Amino acid sequence: MIYHSIRFTTKPDASPEQLEVALESLRNQGRVIPSVKSFIVGRDHGGDYEWAATFVLEDLDGYWEYLIHPAHLNTDRVGLPLVDKFVSFDITDDLDPELGTKIAELHKRRYDTMPDIQKLVSDLGEYSGSAAPGKHGE
């Protein structure tokens, strides 16, 4: 299993209404993407971030389906413009020592084939995670 998690803080000018649209889009991902086995979206406590989400995926095929699903792309498009600081990471019980590299390759493939998504991530104030594009990956 792969537990894909994100943590983020919004820009000061993000309205409560815009934030709720983005959070509901995250929840919708969990409900409609077939490869998502379970999920949680909510407040992040005990760190430097305001919000977080975790999506449980069975394998790399499911991870790819998750990354390119229209519901996930919608969240990117409505949510990322509101985000200042963002981190994504994965926790897995798979002992494959190459799994992290394989996950990074999925992200890189998505950025390479979806320039609008790559730009949204590249324009974040701060981003760390798999295959960070643009200034974040340098």
Dump pLDDT digits (tens) for 15-37.
Answer: 999 999 999 999 999 999 999 99
Confidence label for 132 from pLDDT (cuts 50, 70 and 90): confident
d(CA 108, CA 27): 24
Question: 98-130 burial, b for 16+ CB within 10 Å, e for fewer?
Answer: eeeeebbebbbebbeebeebbebbbebeebebb
d(CA 59, CA 81): 29
* Domain CATH code at residue 18: 3.30.70.100
Q: For residue 138, what pLDDT is reported?
A: 64
pLDDT, one tens digit per residue, over 97-109 is: 999 999 999 999 9
Q: How many distinct structural domains can be found in the chain?
A: 1
pLDDT, one tens digit per residue, over 35-80 is: 999 999 999 998 899 999 999 999 999 999 999 999 999 999 999 9
Domain that holds residue 29: 2-136
Other C-beta atoms lying within 10 Å of the C-beta of residue 6: 21
